[in-house]
A and B are shown apart, each in its own frame.
Chain A
């Protein structure tokens, strides 16, 4: 079925099966590889995008449900890769393998959009659905605080 929706500000029309998840529309039809496949059952968060502004597991959204929607993916998080979160991720060397980080960044960006100065508890609530197999959680938390401009020690990144 033909479906028209907006991806990163551009209107796109695709002709796909109605049940094809948005994840695969993005990856295999629109050739946008930034959004990742991890589990297919909304357990890992690797496929997180913004659907009309809300962080959403794209593996669970059928194409039939996205007509007219506004979708933002990691490729559209910033024009130049300089969203405060992206900068913080690079400065703190958050990624290890990096596979989950698009989903982490999209969840974190949605958090900061509504809660510019999140507490640890708010970070917990927003980020607990995003798995990181390398367990970069310490730096993910630090990265969100840094991007938010929170005055918080990054003592976990240091050592001696």
Chain B
């Protein structure tokens, strides 16, 4: 099925027969007229209606077999299970008997196919249910016509249309031919179930690929095999953006198993194709073994002058001056500081972080006759297609991309650098290529969560309320105006709008290190800074941190505004997590403390409490975490939702405990999991998860539970030891106490 005109986006479903007599429902779903998205949905930018037309999600065979397409990349967030649940619910089929098929990258057919920004739930919640409901409506119409009864007298149950009055029933499969001949329903007439009638939505569903996962069947990008392919490794300059000038290619080509070796010139855009040396062999081990003997002369370029130490020195220098420009200024901070009951100052900083997806970056590509077929573990296949098209000089229509399951994403695979590498290597070599990075490649060539520096000054008035807040943020920009990816600070970031006298300014320094979006980007660092400093202010005011934070939230808007939280929703989760954790009601031994924090991101409201113990010698144990979230009216798949909260919380603890990427001489110092450690089983506390159900459209789960746990942990350490944590990771701090 193809769409003749891309502007044909009327709100109706078109039904057409496909080979084999199946029923194919292609949905044209106009986003602009759905009216279901809250104002917060504007966070992701203006959504053009064309993004969702046409869609083709349902296939019903005459034998009754139902196939539902999973449109988005599965990276562990459970979307391959969750989105089909929406369709199956309204189509009214038995979820355990349907086949779920991963869609290829085809935005014209499926709309936006991205795993990012926790956007899949809010953007698909209504359209995909409508896609299912429209299918059910057509099948009912087909049965009603067959029996010559009113459609309103017909009902459905798990793939069967029923007419109770005459005690007749037909399976969906028996109705495909009739249904395919019916006119498309007007989407405005397609009604959705009352949520109280949900039989699939809201039930814990185990992941649809779990049988394959637990039996080791090929699923991931790294598992792809293409006939005639060679295995490739690709060595880039350790200094970001450095150029390969020459290499001992003849020596390399003579090594066992090696079939080819060549230099790719590459460009200067950090998320495009960068210069390096490709080695192709008949096994990956042979390619990797040959690489150990590779000698390259590099032109390292200007980034070789940059280091974490130089960034810190520059930030310290910038802190002695006024911010270069203002991001927001409310009231009069100078006057407020002058009249404050108490004023405190502190400098916070956080390091670069890698994503370290457990499946190293890889891609398989087969270039032939100016067209290419690609198998990629990617979070954003379409941006990969654009990159490959531009870099290889081939048309986007000649690029086919299979979306494989990804062994973790966390934002790393929003960049498709590894895809364009594999594509270009295949083009130059003239053979299908499976390119696989080593773990060291992955740690050293990431798009890092950027480091950042904040110089804060805050004041409380005589009543113990925050009266002034001033932040000088030092971050990265290469032109002084545009922040490098994920290095910005929104003027609406809390406690903006909560504090009457509020001033945030920014100074920047250049950066040649690639940066990008790490799970809950921005928030994963900013929550640490803001919620820790608020804790400092609470103690300065001699107030209970929960009550102090509730007081700060009381002045926030009560209706949704772009990028600004609704105060009552955060108050709700904060009160609930205080109650669940027994905040203020339990007597804890010395060395054990509880910390609290909240954060609004990706439309989700999370408040979390950490209980931690620090021994006198300084050994930290995270005992337990309580997390309460408000993501709206419906938890679609409780298994997936709780998994995401538990995983996000432990991910945040993992980042805080010991993770740091250090830049030296323009290169990443760390290598592998020995010096970039991930949290392990014995470090992982129980995470008690609960949701506060509110009358808001459901929003995403992949990210918003992460940010609060970092400051909640640091605040717990303060409560346990009296030591205030103002830089990460914790492994660099002496936590011992007497």
Please report A residues at the B interface, Cβ cutoff 8 Å: 16-17, 19-21, 24, 28-29, 31-41, 43-44, 46, 73-75, 77-78, 81, 85-86, 89-102, 105, 123-124, 127-128, 130-141, 156-160
Which residues of chain B are within 8 angstroms of A137 by Cβ–Cβ distance?
650, 679-681, 684
Do A133 and B357 form a contact, CB below 8 Å, given A33-B216, A90-B211? Answer: yes
B688 at the interface (CB under 8 A from A): yes
> B445: shortest Cβ distance to chain A, in Å?
16
Q: Are A133 and B682 in contact (CB under 8 A)?
A: no
A137 → chain B, closest Cβ, in Å?
A: 4
B407 at the interface (CB under 8 A from A): yes
Q: Which of the listed residues A29, A132, A134 has the most CB atoms from chain B within 10 Å of its own CB?
A: A134
* Known A95-B210, A160-B690; contact A31-B408, beta-carbon cutoff 8 A: no
A-B contact list, 30 entries, CB within 8 Å: A28-B231, A33-B216, A33-B220, A33-B222, A34-B218, A37-B360, A41-B674, A73-B216, A90-B211, A93-B205, A93-B639, A95-B209, A95-B213, A97-B407, A98-B213, A127-B681, A128-B681, A130-B681, A133-B678, A134-B643, A135-B647, A135-B654, A135-B679, A136-B643, A138-B646, A139-B646, A140-B681, A158-B642, A159-B689, A160-B691
With a cutoff of 8 Å between Cβ atoms, the chain A residues found around residue B436 in the complex are 37
Contacts of A33 in B (CB 8 A): 216-218, 220, 222-223, 225
Say yes or no: B222 contacts A156, CB within 8 Å: no
Q: With the chains together, A131 CA to B359 CA distance in Å?
A: 12
- Are the CB atoms of B650 and A81 closer together than 8 Å? no
Most buried by B among A74, A97, A158: A97
**B200-232 toward A: CB 8 Å interface, digit per residue (1/0)?**
000011110111011111111011010000010
Please report the C-alpha to C-alpha distance between residue A91 and residue B379 in the assembled complex, in whole angstroms.
27
Task: Decide: A96 and B78 in contact? CB cutoff 8 A.
Answer: yes
- Given A46-B358, A139-B643, are A90 and B439 also a contact pair (CB < 8 Å)? no
A residues less than 8 Å from B684 (CB atoms): 135, 137-138
**In angstroms, how far is the closest chain A Cβ from the Cβ of B650?**
3
Interface string of B627-644 (1 = CB under 8 A from A): 000000001001111111
Nearest residue (CB) in B for A103 is B358
Q: In the complex, are the beta carbons of B216 and A93 less than 8 A apart?
A: no
Residues in chain A near residue B209, CB distance under 8 A: 95, 98
Given contacts A97-B357, A101-B213, A139-B646, could you give 11 more A-B pairs where the C-beta distance is less than 8 Å?
A24-B285, A36-B222, A74-B215, A74-B216, A77-B216, A85-B214, A98-B209, A133-B678, A134-B651, A136-B647, A138-B686
Contacts of A159 in B (CB 8 A): 635, 638, 641-642, 689-691
**Interface contact B688-A156, CB-CB below 8 Å:** yes
On whether the beta carbons of B285 and A20 are closer than 8 Å, the reply is yes
Partner pick for A131 among B219, B358, B639, B641, CB 8 A cutoff: B358
**Is B406 part of the contact surface with A, judged by Cβ < 8 Å?**
yes
B contact residues around A128 at 8 Å (CB):
680-682
Q: How many A-B residue pairs have CB under 8 A?
A: 206
A77 to B644, CA, bound (A): 28
Nearest opposing residue in chain B for A21, CB measure: B285
Cβ–Cβ contact B681 & A124, under 8 A: yes
A133 adjacent to B289 (CB under 8 Å): no
Q: Is B673 within 8 A of A131, CB to CB?
A: yes
> Does A99 contact B216, Cβ atoms closer than 8 Å?
no
Contact status A96-B77, CB under 8 Å: yes
- Chain A hits for B439, CB < 8 A: 38-41
A124 to B257, CA, bound (A): 42
B405 contacts partner chain A, Cβ-Cβ < 8 Å: yes
Contact B640 A98, beta carbon cutoff 8 Å: no
CB <8 Å contact, B650 and A135: yes
Q: List A contacts of B77 (CB < 8 A).
A: 96
Q: Nearest-CB distance from B635 to chain A (Å)? A: 8
Q: Nearest-CB distance from A45 to chain B (Å)?
A: 10
Is A135's CB under 8 angstroms from B438's CB? Answer: no
**Nearest-neighbor residue (CB-CB) of B215 within chain A:** A81
Chain A neighbourhood of B211, CB < 8 A: 81, 90
Q: A39-B439, A75-B216, A100-B358 are in contact. Are A93 and B640 (CB under 8 A)?
A: yes
Closest Cβ neighbor of B211 among chain A residues: A81
Task: Please give the residue numbers on chain B whose beta carbons come within 8 Å of chain A beta carbons, in ascending order.
Answer: 74-78, 204-207, 209-211, 213-220, 222-223, 225, 231, 256-257, 283-286, 289, 356-360, 405-410, 436, 438-439, 635, 638-644, 646-647, 650-651, 654, 672-674, 678-682, 684, 686-691
User: Which residue from B75, B646, B688 sits with its C-beta under 8 Å from A135?
Assistant: B646
| Chain B neighbourhood of A16, CB < 8 A | 283
Q: Which residues of B contact A78 (CB under 8 A)?
A: 215
Question: Shortest CB–CB separation between residue A50 and chain B, in angstroms?
Answer: 13
> In the complex, what residues of B have CB within 8 A of residue A29's CB?
283
The chain B residue sitting closest to A130, CB to CB, is: B681
Please indicate the chain B residues that have their CB under 8 angstroms from the CB of A133 in the complex: 356-358, 407-408, 410, 678
Q: Once the chains are docked, how many angstroms separate the CA of A17 from the CA of B258?
A: 13
Interchain residue pairs A-B with the least CB separation, the first 6: A34-B216, A97-B76, A99-B407, A74-B216, A135-B650, A98-B213
> Are the C-beta atoms of A34 and B215 separated by less than 8 Å?
yes
Among A44, A90, A141, point to the contact of B214 (Cβ < 8 A). Answer: A90
Chain A residues with CB below 8 A from B690, complex form: 159-160
Bound-state CA distance A40–B690 (Å) is 38
Residues of A with C-beta under 8 A to B215: 34, 74-75, 77-78, 81, 86
CA separation between A38 and B438, bound complex, in Å?
8
Whole-angstrom CA separation of A92 from B409 in the bound complex: 22
Bound-complex Cα distance A157 to B211 (A):
20
In the complex, are the beta carbons of A97 and B359 less than 8 A apart?
yes
Task: List, in ascending order, chain B residues with CB within 8 A of A131's CB.
Answer: 358, 673, 678, 680
Query: Are A17 and B210 closer than 8 Å at their CB atoms?
Result: no
Interchain CA distance A124-B681 in the complex, whole Å: 7
| Contacting pair A98 B405 (CB below 8 A) | yes
In contact, A101 and B642 (Cβ under 8 angstroms)? no
| Nearest CB on B from A77, distance (A) | 8
Given contacts A128-B680, A133-B678, is CB(A38)–CB(B289) below 8 Å?
no
CB neighbours of A134 from chain B (8 A): 76, 408, 643, 647, 651
How far apart sit A137 and B678, CA to CA, in the bound complex (Å)?
12
In the complex the two chains form, is A141's CB within 8 Å of B681's CB? yes
User: Within 8 Å CB of A94, what residues of B?
Assistant: 210
The answer on a CB contact under 8 Å between B283 and A19 is: no
A21, A75, A158: most-surrounded residue (chain B CB, <10 A)? A158
B284 and A28 form a contact (CB under 8 A): yes
B283 lies within 8 A of A98 (CB)? no
> A158–B687 Cα gap in the complex (Å)?
11
Q: In the complex, which residues of chain B have a beta carbon less than 8 angstroms from the beta carbon of A41?
A: 439, 672-674
Closest CB in chain B relative to A157 CB, distance in Å: 6
Q: How far is the CA of A86 from the CA of B674 in the complex (A)?
A: 29
- How distant is A40 from chain B, measured CB to nearest CB, in Å? 6
Q: Indicate if the CB atoms of A157 and B642 lie closer than 8 Å.
A: yes
A99: chain B residues within 8 A (beta carbon): 76, 220, 357-359, 407-408
Residue contact A98 to B256, C-beta cutoff 8 Å: no
- The chain A residue sitting closest to B76, CB to CB, is A97
Residues of the A chain whose Cβ atoms lie less than 8 Å from the Cβ of B651? 134-135
A160 vs chain B, min Cβ distance (A): 5
Among B205, B214, B639, contact of A101 (Cβ-Cβ < 8 Å) = B214
Q: Measured between alpha carbons, how far is A41 from B216 in the docked complex, in Å?
A: 21
Partner of B75, one of A37, A38, A95, A97: A97
- Which residues of A are found within 8 Å of B359, using beta-carbon distances? 36, 38, 97, 99
Please indicate the chain A residues that have their CB under 8 angstroms from the CB of B686 in the complex: 138, 156
Q: How far is the CB of B554 from chain A (nearest CB, A)?
A: 26
Provide the bound-state CA to CA distance between A21 and B406, in Å.
24
**Given A21-B285, A29-B283, A96 and B672 touching (CB < 8 A)?**
no
Q: Which residues of chain A are near B654, meaning CB under 8 Å?
A: 135
CA distance A38 to B285 in the complex (A): 14
A105 to chain B: which residues have CB within 8 Å?
214
Q: Which residues of B contact A77 (CB under 8 A)?
A: 215-216
Which of chain A's residues have a CB closer than 8 A to the CB of B406?
Answer: 97
Contact pick for A39, options B225, B410, B644, B672, CB 8 Å: B672
Q: How far is the CA of A17 from the CA of B213 in the complex (A)?
A: 30
Q: A17-B289, A46-B358 are in contact. Are A98 and B678 (CB under 8 A)?
A: no
